[in-house]
Structure 1
Amino acid sequence: MTTARNAIGDLYPSRLSSQAASFGRPHPTTWGSTPGPFTADALSRYDAKGFHIEEGLLTPAQIQHCWSEVERLSADPELAKTELIVRERGSDTVRSIFAVHEVSPLIDKLIRTPRILDRARQILGSDVYIHQSRINCMPGFAGTGFYWHSDFETWHAEDGMPVPRAVSLSIALTDNYPFNGGLMLMPGAHRTFVPCVGQTPENNYKSSLQEQRIGVPSEDAITELAYEFGIEQFTGQAGSALFFDSNSMHGSSNNITPYPRANIFLVFNSVDNVLEQPFAGTKPRPEHLGSRDFTPLTPITGSPFA
């Protein structure tokens, strides 16, 4: 429902009582002119499409290091007792493991590797911190997809992220085919904000992490965006990486093939865009979903990912 805060100046009102028109975002996609590894052409494509694919960001050996961590964390009996592990609805299959940079020294080294960290700084034009980190697993036959959505809509409404000055990085740990549930994105749709309808239930995250029902666009809004911008898919070999804007419209279908799909998902937020109170009027989600430790990340050298 609309809140007093929305009425007095929320630039991205959502979770409304009735459908409202989509509108162009008033904030940029790339911020400032911070130097970094991206070429000018790559940054220009990212700005226009809302995403950029970097082939071979990790080597096969580095992928194996990460995959060993996935297996270790998935089998950790103490971790299984926490909310950090989310399982597929109706089964014990691991769907996501959250706060992986906090429970895995290896992933912490990954996010601080200069050639990765400096890309986030370059896009956002500032120092950054980790808003959220997780490993997503989509096993063969049993993996369920994610419905069309903008991450920023949720982070704004339920975490209190003021503006879309965040970039997500998805690193493929398995080959992404067109048929095993690869991520779909609408190039250019990141410049349009789509308000969503519906009051946010208390502790909505407990169900939305398995199947998101609140904070998703209407079918009419998705149809309009798809016909205007089209749909592309993130495919490629393990080690490929997708950098995408927090307001990118994206989703994935179920994986009914024998080929599993898994990725490391990292969200870098600008230190100039720290969380406030959630704009939906709810209490903030837990720290592992929306971190309130805004300490800037410092780079390291000599890691397995250098």
Structure 2
Amino acid sequence: MSPTSATSTLTDLYPTRGAAEVSAPRQDPVLWGAPDTPGPFTADDLMAYQRDGFRALDRLLDDDEVTLYRAELERLVADPSVRADERSIVEPKSKEIRSVFEVHRISEVFGRLVRDERIVGRARQLLGSDVYVHQSRINVKPGFGAGGFYWHSDFETWHAEDGLPNMRTVSVSIALTENLDTNGGLMIMPGSHRTFLGCAGATPEDNYRKSLQMQDAGTPSDGALTSLADEHGIRLFTGGAGSATWFDCNCMHGSGDNITPYPRSNVFIVFNSVQNQAVEPFAAPVRRPEFVGARDFTPVR
């Protein structure tokens, strides 16, 4: 199958990586399930998610669970075989591990977390279907200089480079250390999920090797970011270990460098609807590796 044949019968609702930056209204629902769908989220939670593009929970994991998952994160980071694995991404300067991808397959402990009904049940409510894991990782973000993640929409990347056709994907970031207002926390522009920003510039081959350390292709212009921030504002997420933030795939978000002594570690899980399976990339010469953008669409059970 040629790279274009899998997408030739689909209308590209979100053109990107062209000669010019393009801003367009979202063409997909935000909340795919009904507001009264039973599950861990309340109806008020679901409506707030639809309005803002995210929902934060103060206490998803208890203290014992945080201890368990943090210990597993530390075990993985200290394991030489994990460090040598291509799924581990290191900081360019310090050479410390920045992220470990496909962590739900590497670790049975994190595999069980993905299957936890508090986690996957919420994804099903938001996406209105069974779901599979498009991507999972632990982010370590150690103190004293760990780099941030520049402003971006995940969907822009997943559409362009992984071939996700529609905005039917949700991420959850679960804190395993305290999120302070000083250690490089997650920032989101509330309401930005309703606008798709198609970025300018072609996608280099094997772009993922660079982008997992520092975002370049697929980044919005300063002018576009200023307009979005002026319209929507910026929300910085703080909270204790065990807190979690669910956010829509098209939210404009990023995080700053961590120059404090205090690490900001989390587990990050991306759920995609089984009805939104990846095809060939819409704006990249080749697919990214499966540990970054899954091609196993088996529903989480």
Does the TM-score normalized on the shorter chain lie above 0.5? yes
Which one of 267, 273, 276 corresponds to residue 276 of structure 2? 273
Q: What CA distance in whole angstroms lies between the structure 2 residues aligned with 1:281 and 1:215?
A: 11
In the alignment, the residues of structure 2 paired with residue 66 and residue 281 of structure 1 have an alpha-carbon distance, to the nearest angstrom, of 35
CA distance in 1, matches of 2:285, 2:269: 24
Show the 5 A alignment for 1:191-230. 191-230=194-233
Structure 1: give runs of 5+ residues left out of the alignment: 299-306
Higher mean C-alpha displacement, 82-91 vs 98-107: 82-91
Partner residue, 2:21: 19
Distance (Å, rounded) in 2 between the aligned partners of 1:82 and 1:53: 32
**Map of 2:11 onto structure 1:** 9
* CA deviation map 1:13-72 (0-9, x unaligned): 00111232x111010111022421111111111000000001110011101111111111
1:102 maps to 105
**Native 8 Å contact 1:6 1:13 kept in 2:** no
How far is the alpha carbon of 1:283 from its aligned partner?
A: 1.2
Question: Is 1:86–2:89 an aligned residue pair?
Answer: yes
Moved over 4 A (4+): 3-8
DSSP 3-state at the match of 1:237: coil
- Relative distance call for 1:239 and 1:199 in structure 2 (3 A) is same
| Secondary structure of the corresponding residue to residue 159 of structure 2 | helix
What is the 5 A alignment of 1:42-57? 42-57=45-60
Aligned partners of 2:275 and 2:11: how far apart in 1? 19
Q: How does 1:1-306 map to 2 (within 5 A)?
A: 9-20=11-22, 22-33=23-34, 34-298=37-301
Cα offset, 1:83, TM superposition: 1.1
Question: In 2, Cα distance between the equivalents of 1:128 and 1:67?
Answer: 26
Question: CA RMSD, aligned part only?
Answer: 1.6
- SS, match of residue 202 in structure 2: coil
What is the SS of the residue equivalent to 1:283?
A: coil
- Unpaired segments of 5 or more residues in structure 2? none
TM-score, normalised with respect to structure 2 = 0.95
> 2:69 is aligned with what amino acid?
C
How far apart are the structure 2 equivalents of 1:8 and 1:108? 33
Cα distance, 1:110 vs structure 2: 0.5
Amino acid at match of 2:27: P
Number of aligned residues: 295
CA contact (8 A) 1:6 1:279 kept: no
**Residue 98 of structure 1: CA displacement?**
0.4
- Which secondary structure does the structure 2 equivalent of 1:132 belong to? strand
- Contact in 1 for aligned 2:202/2:284 (Cα 8 Å): no
Separation (CA, whole Å) in 2 of partners of 1:41 and 1:212: 34
**Contact 2:136–2:270 (8 Å) recurs in 1:** yes
TM norm structure 1: 0.94
Alignment CA distance shift 1:179-1:6 (3 Å): farther
Query: What is the percent sequence identity of the aligned residues?
Result: 56
Once the two structures are TM-superposed, the CA of residue 82 in structure 1 deviates from its matched residue by 1.7
Q: Is the 8 A contact 1:159 1:284 kept in 2?
A: yes
CA distance in 1, matches of 2:10, 2:38: 37
Q: Deviations over 1:256-295 (max 9, x none)?
A: 1111101100000000000000001421100100011000
Check 1:103–1:121 CA distance in 2 against 1; reply closer, same or farther (3 A cut).
same
Q: Which residue of structure 2 aligns with residue 303 of structure 1?
A: none
